[in-house]
Amino acid sequence: MAQNPLEAALAAPQSPGILDRRLVIVTGKGGTGKTCVVAALALAAARAGKRVLVVETGLGEAVPPLLSPGASPVGYAGRELQPGLTALHIEPYEALAEYVGLQFGMRAMTDLVFRNAAFRQLMDASPGWRELITLGKIWHLREQERFDLVVVDAPATGHGITFLDVPRVVISAVRAGPLRRHASWVEDMVQSPDETLLLPVALAEELPARETAELVTRLREDVGVAVDRVVVNAVARSPLPPGAPDLAARLARLPAQLDCGGLPAPPVLAACLGHAVSRAELNRHYRDLIGRETGLPVVELPYLDGGVSGPDDLERLARALVEPPVRIAAESTS
Amino acid sequence: MKPPVPSALLESRRILVCVGCGGVGKTTISAAVALEAARRGRRALVLTIDPARRLADALGTGPLAGGEPQEIPRERLRALGVPDDGALFALMLDVKGTLDSLVERFAEDEAARSRILDNRIYQHVSDALAGSAEYSAMEKVYELSQLERFDLIVVDTPPSQHAIDFLEAPRRLLEFIDSRLVKLLLHPALSAGRFGFRLFQRSAFRVLQLIERVSGLGFLEDVSEFLMAFEGMAEGFRERARRVEALLLGPEAAFVLAAGAAGESVQHGQALLGRLEAAGVPLAGVVMNRVRTWPGGGPPPAQIPPAGRAAEAQAALAQALAEDAGDAAFPAEDAAAAAIDATRRHAEVVGRQARACDDLHSYALRRGLFWRIVPELPRDVHDLEGLAQIARHVFAPEEGRGEAPQ
């Protein structure tokens, strides 16, 4: 990524770097490659000598297969996947059972209650507790200080807001008692700017770009979580070599039947190159738009043709992620 | 089984539900479907539940006011071939507003109504917490289906991990209302007194004790007050939920799966298809969105440049470009290399996506579902013209035959 020293200095204010936090919550709309960012960030931290924990909050496990292909699921207990890099999967019922057990030391009774079909029914129908207990478990893991950095694969945007907003809602809905107290601990964790960072992941396309701008505004206003950069994923590089900005038009001008050593005909070459050029221009335009609308510096990750398909790809993303973010100039004309 | 023709669904159904994993362009497909219905002279409404308000962007209407259908101006539609009897509306779901009006409809009296609306638990559950969007979306679909105002309602489902949360919402609501635990919360004296402590009740009381200990004093009181207020409405709710389910699983509705063509996206789509089938959903077809295609159609060549001819090919292309430029300063070698590289990469993506789609395609065909491909466009779709372009692919008369006649 082209960057001059002045830009780098501007982009790195006094706030701590991405690997110096204790908790990074990665969020983004489905399809933005959030999971790869989580894996790459964890890898970068582990390479920097940190003890890292990756937390999955989804239905299945997506991050562990990226970090350790073919490994069995890490489950709620978690497992070290690489030296210094542990992953676990928070299953809400298990987290709830653990919480209740820890709180009241009534494991036998808790188990009895959890097996109760009516209780399951009540819980299945009740909104909010999954988010709260998941954040609570994260709080607890962080308190144990077994890890320098916890990276959370948060639910997709939309639900991502509610995910972080639940402690606040509980605090205002519950009058007193342990639940309210614990929710306020969790809220303090979310709102601690030196320790906790929310990392939004966006794609440089029209709708995801607008949605990201909206997300960042709401996070700042409603949730009070620190956001200091936006990751713009899968940014395609321009295929054009220097000195040939109009290459697609030149290819289109060549005789349509021309045979160049068995290559596809020039109109096909022109269409393929043209497609790649438009994609790159579009990505650049929306990358800049994200930067301007959020007022945040941008971390750009490259587009990979085949997606993230191996450890090399992940290493590449990991290196790009810890680069200082770049501030997009206010009156960029691209 | 012969697959249905997508355009026939616009005539024969009143509700089309667009399902799919996040990021596949569900919102765009939904809006394109509604636009096509309008072009065929129907009064169509697209309902989005997406809290990110992407539909407004795609329709170019600006922000949609929550809760009220907004009509897309006729003059803009006329340019796209929408006849005078057709119309297009967009509605952004207002979760809390929808639940509030449900309470107002079913509450027994004024006192019950304000008891619910003023309850702390209700105020928070109805607005801020995950899950309430699905409940109220179902309600809104039902309410809209009862109006004569719209011929067709296209539903853009929320981006949900479960994806069929949406469908299960009414059933879960019913189970919740009917659950013994809730009954116990409502009538603790009754259960404890008249029937004594049977085994179930003992464990249920333990559950309640536990919740009280965790949540602190007063919480259960609020919950119980909330549920008590709701109890009078339970029958209304139950009836409603039954009707919603019957509507969505019945002959008036059809489901369309939207999926992406990149490797993982196809797998997610396939998994979702299986779950929808298991849930007894009336599935009509699959729309593969943003599929990379080869210029001029057909499969790309197996290798670019052909094996053993790389140097020859690049030299020939460079020479052709140099002759065309007639300028020694033009970097013909670099340009030829860049063109070949871009073409090779394009072909690889086309081939990879086609292979990824194969299984899902034959699965869909075996089940008599239609299968349509929307090519990846060089530009993003974020206006009505772009939606019309997408609709032409979704409503192509036959699979693989390109665009529908104008």
Region for B287 from its dihedrals, namely left if φ exceeds 0, alpha if ψ lies in -120 to 50, beta otherwise: beta
Taking the C-alpha atoms of residue B5 and residue B369, their distance in angstroms, rounded to an integer, is 9
Residue B102 lies in a domain: yes
Domain identity same for B349 and B367? no
Contacts of A200 in chain B (CB under 8 A): none
pLDDT in tens, A261-317: 999 999 999 999 999 999 999 999 999 999 999 999 999 999 987 778 778 899 999
| Residue A232: predicted pLDDT | 97
A175 to B162: CB separation less than 8 angstroms, yes or no: no
Which residues are CB-neighbours of A84 under 8 A, at least 6 positions away?
A46, A49, A50, A51, A52
| Residue B174: predicted pLDDT | 64
Which residue of chain B is at minimal alpha-carbon distance from A212? B52
CA distance B163 to chain A (A): 11
Looking at per-residue pLDDT, the higher value among B243 and B235 belongs to B243
For residue B270, pLDDT over 60 is answered with: yes
Domain identity same for B210 and B290? yes
CA distance A14 to chain B (A): 32
Report the percentage of chain B scoring pLDDT > 90. 39
For residue A247, pLDDT over 80 is answered with: yes
The mean per-residue pLDDT over the stretch A105-111 comes to: 71
| Largest CA-CA distance found in chain B, in angstroms, rounded | 101
Categorize the per-residue pLDDT at B118 as very low, low, confident or very high, splitting at 50, 70 and 90: confident
Residue B204 lies in a domain: yes
Domain identity same for B235 and B100? yes
CA distances from A96 to A93, A114, B310 (A): 5, 9, 61
Residue B33 lies in a domain: yes
Domain identity same for B247 and B344? no
pLDDT in tens, A34-69: 999 999 999 999 999 999 999 999 878 888 888 988
The mean per-residue pLDDT over the stretch B309-331 comes to: 96
Helices (H), chain A: 5-11, 34-47, 63-67, 92-104, 107-115, 117-125, 129-143, 159-173, 178-190, 206-218, 247-253, 266-294, 311-321
Q: Read off the pTM.
A: 0.80
For residue B112, pLDDT over 70 is answered with: yes
Residue B399 lies in a domain: no
pLDDT in tens, B33-90: 999 999 999 999 998 866 555 567 667 666 666 678 889 988 889 999 999 999 999 9
| Residue A13: predicted pLDDT | 46
Which residues are CB-neighbours of B386 under 8 A, at least 6 positions away?
B377, B379, B380
Q: Which of A175, A261, A273 comes nearest B316 by C-beta?
A: A261
Which residue of chain A is at minimal alpha-carbon distance from B161? A59
Q: Which of B22, B173, B210 comes nearest A113 by C-beta?
A: B210
Q: Is the dihedral of CA A246, A247, A251, A252 positive or negative?
A: negative
How many whole angstroms from its chain centre is CA B290?
Answer: 16
Q: Domain span at residue B334? A: 310-353
Domain identity same for B336 and B203? no
For residue A6, pLDDT over 50 is answered with: no
Residue B156 lies in a domain: yes
- Phi, psi for A191 (deg, rounded to 5): -95, 10
Residue B46 lies in a domain: yes
Residue B386 lies in a domain: yes
| Residue B65: predicted pLDDT | 64
Taking the C-alpha atoms of residue A7 and residue B406, their distance in angstroms, rounded to an integer, is 52
Q: Report the CATH number at residue B377.
A: 3.40.50.300
List, as one string, the DSSP characters of B155-211: EE----SSSSHHHHHHHHHHHHHH-HHHHHHH-HHHHHHTS---HHHHHHHHHHHHH
On whether the CB atoms of residues B287 and B258 are closer than 8 A, the answer is: yes
Which residues are CB-neighbours of B10 under 8 A, at least 6 positions away?
B16, B33, B36, B37, B40, B42, B152
Domain identity same for B111 and B215? yes
Contacts of A61 in chain B (CB under 8 A): none
Report chain B's mean pLDDT, rounded to a whole number. 81
For residue B220, pLDDT over 50 is answered with: yes
Residue where one domain finishes, among candidates B338, B353, B368: B353
Looking at per-residue pLDDT, the higher value among A123 and A78 belongs to A78
Domain identity same for B171 and B233? yes
Domain identity same for B329 and B208? no
For residue B267, pLDDT over 90 is answered with: no
- As given in the structure block, the two tokens for residue B370 are 């239609």
CA distance A241 to chain B (A): 6
Categorize the per-residue pLDDT at A95 as very low, low, confident or very high, splitting at 50, 70 and 90: very high
Q: Which of B180, B306, B341 comes nearest A118 by C-beta?
A: B180
CA distances from A238 to A211, A273, A287, A302 (A): 25, 10, 14, 11
B215 to A103: CB separation less than 8 angstroms, yes or no: no
All domains of chain A in start order, with CATH:
5-238+294-321 (3.40.50.300)
Categorize the per-residue pLDDT at B295 as very low, low, confident or very high, splitting at 50, 70 and 90: very high
Please state the domain count of chain B.
2
B216 to A177: CB separation less than 8 angstroms, yes or no: yes
- As given in the structure block, the two tokens for residue B233 are 């409405």
Mutate to test the interface with A, among B138, B303, B343 (most CBs of A within 10 A): B343
Residue B318 lies in a domain: yes
Domain identity same for B204 and B324? no
How many whole angstroms from its chain centre is CA B195?
Answer: 47
A162 to B129: CB separation less than 8 angstroms, yes or no: yes
| Residue B159: predicted pLDDT | 61
Helices (H), B310-368: 310-325, 332-366
| Residue A1: predicted pLDDT | 44
Contacts of A276 in chain B (CB under 8 A): 342, 345-346
For residue A227, pLDDT over 50 is answered with: yes
Categorize the per-residue pLDDT at B181 as very low, low, confident or very high, splitting at 50, 70 and 90: low
CA distances from B201 to A90, A100, A107, A119 (A): 31, 21, 20, 12
